[in-house]
Amino acid sequence: MGKKLKKMAVVFAAALAAAISGGCGPSVPKLNVYMWSDYIDPDIVQKFEDENGCEVVISIFDSNESMYAKLKAGGTGYDVILPSSYMAKVMNDEKMIETLDLSKLPNVKNINSEYMKKLALDKTFKYSVPYMICYSCVAYDKGKCPNLPDTWGVFGDSKYRGRMTLLNDYRETIGAALKANGYSLNTRDDSELEKAKETLLKWKPNLARLDNEGYKSGVQSGEFVVVHGYSGDLYQVLEESKNLAVMIPKEGVSLSCDDWVIPADSKNKDLAYAFINYMCDPESAAANMEVTKYLSPVDGASKLMSDENAKSVVIPKAVYENGEMIIDLGEDNAKYLKIWDEIKISQ
């Protein structure tokens, strides 16, 4: 976690302490944002609060599925949510989110048109606005794993038994096993999925655990030596730990984008629109890229970044060439979930 994101953790703790001790300042409108961790510049959030006379309250989820499950179990009170594109589509199909009024989002004109044409799942901003593009790859300890080959197959290597993690994210991790076998990570083919399951059953004994958050500090502290993670999170960790490197498996990786949506039951829709619009401003996007190391699709943002970061926040050619966007599979999602349950309960 970079310095700014650490500062944000301290601010959260202070806010929590104030809430518990019953602090009673003047009440200002609150915008409740539900999103992934380490994923926004706290200074940009502060600027938005100052300019809009409001308080932004950020709650964190660590996977699309846990966020979705929480909403389905009756979780309410959010004004803006940040699912990945495939999950935003599910939420739209299930009428959980607003159809967007684009007159309240003038800054969507800044979203890169090539991205919208080629990769976006919601090509007309009908229900979502893209925030950051992500791919998943592997970080490893260069000293403890010299000459690590660039293949998903490393998870099958018992040399690193007990010191590796894969994401606790069924589309990412089954996707990695599909790619390892040369298949599409959006396959609906039963025999390909069966092969991916066999691969994961072979990999599992080598894993310390499936993990979506702790792998970052774990690989920094040396507890883990090979971790599967989200690109920006891994680059945030690399910035602080010179003994680590990133490996992009040659068989291909997942590409995904996280998209802002407004839940149908938001009580602060105008403020929600203002927030999403603010994030599509090139200056906000540049600041968010600097801190999170993910790639924003906002045109003009990279030009505003420091040279060093602008160079690192690009999608490597290998990712574009072999990467595949995760799409929603409708009823066939059930095939993936069944495999995931079998993997989780296997010893």
Residues 311, 2, 295, 302, Cα dihedral to 10°: -50
Q: Is 38 in the site for ligand N2P (CB under 6 A)?
A: yes
Of positions 34, 39, 160, 235, contacts ligand N2P by CB under 6 A = 39
Is residue 235 part of the contact set for ligand N2P (CB under 6 A)?
A: no
In the region spanning residues 78 to 137, those forming contacts with ligand N2P, defined by CB under 6 A, are 84, 134
Structure tokens at 244: 């680590």
Burial class, 287, CB count within 10 angstroms (exposed 0-12 / middle 13-18 / buried 19+):
buried
- Chain position whose Cβ is nearest to ligand N2P: 36
Closest to ligand N2P by CB, 36 or 275: 36
DSSP state of 129: E
Closest CA to 179 of 85, 88, 248, 90: 248
Residue 231 CB, shortest distance to ligand N2P, in Å, is 8
Measure Cα distances from 278 to 194, 230, 260 in Å: 45, 24, 12
Host H or E run for residue 166: strand 164-166
Q: Does 141 bind ligand N2P (CB under 6 A)?
A: no
C-beta of residue 49 within 8 angstroms of C-beta of residue 25: no
CB of 338 to ligand N2P, least distance (A): 23
d(CA 244, CA 222): 10
Residue count of the chain = 347
How far apart are the C-alpha atoms of 207 and 107, rounded to whole Å?
Answer: 44
| Residue 269: CB atoms within 10 Å | 17
41 vs 233, which CB is nearer to ligand N2P?
233
Question: Which of these ranges, 10-18, 30-38, 281-289, 317-325, lies near ligand N2P under the rule CB under 6 A?
Answer: 30-38
Q: Tell whether residue 48 is a contact of ligand N2P (CB under 6 A).
A: no
- Is 290 a binding residue for ligand N2P by CB under 6 A? The answer is no
Residue closer to ligand N2P (CB basis): 277 or 292 = 292
Which residues, other chains included, contact 306 with Cβ-Cβ below 8 Å and sequence gap of 6+? Answer: 290
Judged by CB, which is closer to ligand N2P: 136, or 284?
A: 136
Q: Report the residue number, 1 or 226, with the smaller CB distance to ligand N2P.
A: 1
How many residues in the shown chain lie near ligand N2P by CB under 6 A?
10
Applying CB under 6 A, among 78, 135, 215, 230 the residue interacting with ligand N2P is 230
What gap in Å lies between CA 273 and CA 243, rounded to an integer? 42
Contact residue for ligand N2P among 233, 259, 290, 328 (CB under 6 A): 233
- 34 scored as a contact of ligand N2P (CB under 6 A): no
| Residue 253 tokens, joined | 């990786």
Applying CB under 6 A, which part among 37-45, 189-197, 240-248, 259-267 lies near ligand N2P? Answer: 37-45
For the CB of residue 97, give the shortest distance to ligand N2P in the complex, in Å: 17
- Among 40, 46, 88, which Cα is nearest to 64's? 88
Would you count residue 328 as binding ligand N2P (CB under 6 A)? no
Residue 112: both structure tokens together: 């890169």
Nearest distance from C-beta of residue 113 to ligand N2P, angstroms: 22
CA distance 12 to 217: 19
160 makes contact with ligand N2P (CB under 6 A): no
By CB under 6 A, what part of segment 250-279 binds ligand N2P? 256, 258
Binding site for ligand N2P (CB under 6 A): 36-39, 84, 134, 230, 233, 256, 258
